[in-house]
Structure 1
């Protein structure tokens, strides 16, 4: 099996202008490859190559895959915001039509991949695509790392969201370094493998854990590192779910918008409570 995280450049102003990033994990949780691509066709080709002669591939796309609402927000976004988890604010109006993620799904269908809201844990042979949220995953991992007791919603509200995308270079560099530190400390995730390099200018196979992230970098370089971080978080999310050991859940349905999240114990119970109150399915 291969587990691919896709940090899709989907936001208005990004789509068609910035590269997207793919990060690939094996069943052991090791990062074995990554690459950048500028179009959905290139993403399809790379994902097809990563899945060749493998017993299945699960792709976690860090972007809204189902956007049925013309305006406002999706129901899943409102649920996540109630427990202080970051959520995409997506509507068809903001894209001026269909989002880039729909184009990606069409491309992936050409190679036999299916959009789903629930990949099956421990089952090989799947070729599916699911929506994830790297910012939410990062915050959950930070919560688990802190190990604080009490209501998880209260704890999450007390945690500042890192300024990964906006702000000056000093603030962004510090936030990205913090995110990499969280990844480094995450059980079940092996960041450093022998076939990756510390050359940020390389087209593929960059070891994000070896990069010296600093304010001397350009915003474009920080964006490139952030894409690697987001792709890693996306790959980790689907791999964690597939392993079925550390806790995960899907909130929402495919047609209305759903998100696969790492969640266990009190946090899972808290999200489930909000989903039930809103009449939104979860599993």
Structure 2
């Protein structure tokens, strides 16, 4: 199995991309990049997860948007579950300017054989796609009291947040289960453009690791947000496909 993470740009801009694979008993990074071109992003997925190979693609973007207006069930539940950590997903509906782009990306994955996996038997082989939320992953795996704020604010504040996130990823992920051997640059970029590039790539790594964590552990260590009857008990796959869903490691 390979685990691919996509920090998908919702309304233009660059998308971060990461591919992880097993290297002995550890996961290792085999690709880490970003692109402004969706076709190039899909070409990377075709390269790193050819049709005969098992893989899971985890995307930070709303992949299923059934609601004409308002907020998806999973978005609302993200605020209920993660609000105390200052986290919650941006709401999506069919009138959102990004809706066609993000759902179209999910359809392109489906055409490549990646089926939605809001329910999964741990370590099941196949080709899967899931929607994820990097802030939620960081809260759970790094035992945070609140999110690390690195996406908005002044340059110095963003740099400080990214430095902390990078350090936590480099020092904690090698000791998680499954372990990820991660080598990250020690020098922090000096410009806003380069900080954004680092942000996209770190988020892509978190997406890819969430895919691996979900595949490895399944429901035992995750919430799956989206079912109208949200609880720790799983709902049928059809219920999540009807409402949309987000897989989040459990804090």
Tell me if the contact between 2:150 and 2:158 (Cα under 8 Å) persists in the aligned partners: yes
Partner of 1:189: 180
Query: What is the 5 A alignment of 1:12-31?
Result: 15-16=11-12, 18-27=13-22, 28-31=26-29
**1:120 & 1:100 partners in 2: Cα distance?**
30
Does residue 154 of structure 2 align to residue 168 of structure 1?
A: yes
**1:255 & 1:117 partners in 2: Cα distance?**
11
Partner of 1:204: none
Partner of 1:150: none
How many residues align? The count is 226
- Shift in Å, 1:251: 2.4
Relative to structure 1, the CA distance from residue 227 to residue 81 in structure 2 (aligned partners, 3 Å threshold; closer, same or farther) is: same
- Shift in Å, 1:69: 2.2
**2:102 & 2:116 partners in 1: Cα distance?**
11
Relative to structure 1, the CA distance from residue 94 to residue 173 in structure 2 (aligned partners, 3 Å threshold; closer, same or farther) is: farther
**2:19 & 2:118 partners in 1: Cα distance?**
20
Relative to structure 1, the CA distance from residue 160 to residue 101 in structure 2 (aligned partners, 3 Å threshold; closer, same or farther) is: same
Query: What is the 5 A alignment of 1:9-88?
Result: 9-10=9-10, 15-16=11-12, 18-27=13-22, 28-52=26-50, 55-83=53-81, 84=83, 86-88=87-89
**1:98 & 1:163 partners in 2: Cα distance?**
25
Does residue 188 of structure 2 align to residue 213 of structure 1?
A: yes
TM-score by length of 1: 0.73
- Shift in Å, 1:53: 7.3
Larger Rg, first or second structure (1 or 2): 1
Does residue 130 of structure 2 align to residue 130 of structure 1?
A: yes
**2:52 & 2:205 partners in 1: Cα distance?**
20
Unaligned runs of 5+ in 2: 227-239
**2:5 & 2:72 partners in 1: Cα distance?**
22
Does residue 113 of structure 2 align to residue 140 of structure 1?
A: no
- Shift in Å, 1:164: 1.4
Partner of 1:281: none
**2:47 & 2:127 partners in 1: Cα distance?**
13
Partner of 1:247: 221
**1:119 & 1:180 partners in 2: Cα distance?**
30
- Shift in Å, 1:131: 0.3
Unaligned runs of 5+ in 1: 147-158, 193-208, 268-283
Partner of 2:211: 238
Tell me if the contact between 2:66 and 2:94 (Cα under 8 Å) persists in the aligned partners: no
- Shift in Å, 1:210: 1.3
* RMSD across aligned positions (CA): 2.2
**1:254 & 1:42 partners in 2: Cα distance?**
27
Tell me if the contact between 1:142 and 1:182 (Cα under 8 Å) persists in the aligned partners: yes
Runs of 4+ in 1 over 4 A off after TM superposition: none
Deviations 1:144-163 (A, max 9, x none): xx6xxxxxxxxxxxx34322
SS of 1:3's equivalent in the other structure is strand
**1:93 & 1:259 partners in 2: Cα distance?**
17
- Shift in Å, 1:54: 6.0
**1:106 & 1:53 partners in 2: Cα distance?**
16
